[in-house]
Structure 1
Amino acid sequence: MKVAVIPARGGSKRIAKKNIRPFFGKPIMAWSVEAARASGCFDRIIVSTDDAEIAAVARSLGAEVPFTRPAELATDQAATIPVVAHAINWLKQQGEEPEQVCCIYAAAPFISAADIQQAETVLRDSSVSYVFPVASFPSPVQRALRILPSGRGEMFNPELFVKRSQELEEAYHDAAQFYWGTADAWLQEKMIFSTDSVPLVIPRYRVQDIDTEEDWQRAEYLFRAMQEMQAFSGTQG
Structure 2
Amino acid sequence: MKRLCTICARAGSKGVVNKNIREIDGKPLLAYSILQAKASNLFQTIAISSDSTEILNVASKWDVDYLIERPMYLATDHAPKIPAIQHALLTVEELANQYYDIVVDLDVTSPLRHVSDISNVVNLLETKKVSNVITGTPAKHSPYFNIVEINDEGIVQLSKALDNPIFCRQDAPKSYDLNASIYAWQREALLNCKTIFNKDTLLYIMPEERSIDIDSELDFEYVKLLMSKRSNDID
Shorter-chain TM-score tier? 0.7 to 0.9
* 1:235 alignment partner in structure 2: none
Q: In the TM superposition, what whole-angstrom CA distance separates every residue of 1:102-139 from its partner, at most 9, and x where no partner exists?
A: 01111221121111111111111122111122110134
* 1:127 alignment partner in structure 2: 129
- Do the aligned partners of 1:5 and 1:48 also contact (CA within 8 Å) in 2? yes
* 1:201 alignment partner in structure 2: 205
The secondary structure found in structure 1 opposite 2:202 is: strand
1:5 and 2:3 are equivalent in the alignment: no
* 2:46 alignment partner in structure 1: 45
Tell me the CA shift for residue 140 of structure 1: 3.0
User: In structure 2, do the counterparts of structure 1 residues 93 and 7 end up closer, same or farther at CA, with 3 Å as the change threshold?
Assistant: same
The secondary structure found in structure 2 opposite 1:131 is: strand
Gaps of 5+ in 2: none
| CA–CA separation in structure 2 for the residues paired with 1:159 and 1:93 | 50
1:1-237 alignment runs, 5 A limit = 1-94=2-95, 95-145=97-147, 154-157=156-159, 163-224=167-228, 226-227=229-230
- Do the aligned partners of 1:82 and 1:189 also contact (CA within 8 Å) in 2? no
| CA–CA separation in structure 2 for the residues paired with 1:36 and 1:98 | 16
TM-score, structure 2 normalization: 0.86
Q: In the TM superposition, what whole-angstrom CA distance separates every residue of 1:84-112 from its partner, at most 9, and x where no partner exists?
A: 11112113333211110001111221121
Tell me the CA shift for residue 172 of structure 1: 0.7
Number of residues of Structure 1 aligned to a counterpart in Structure 2: 225
TM-score, structure 1 normalization: 0.85
User: In structure 2, do the counterparts of structure 1 residues 197 and 147 end up closer, same or farther at CA, with 3 Å as the change threshold?
Assistant: closer
- Do the aligned partners of 2:47 and 2:68 also contact (CA within 8 Å) in 1? no
Q: In the TM superposition, what whole-angstrom CA distance separates every residue of 1:63-88 from its partner, at most 9, and x where no partner exists?
A: 23443111111111111110111112
Gaps of 5+ in 1: 232-237
With 135-144 and 100-109 compared, the bigger mean Cα shift is at: 135-144
| CA–CA separation in structure 2 for the residues paired with 1:190 and 1:158 | 25
User: In structure 2, do the counterparts of structure 1 residues 155 and 136 end up closer, same or farther at CA, with 3 Å as the change threshold?
Assistant: same
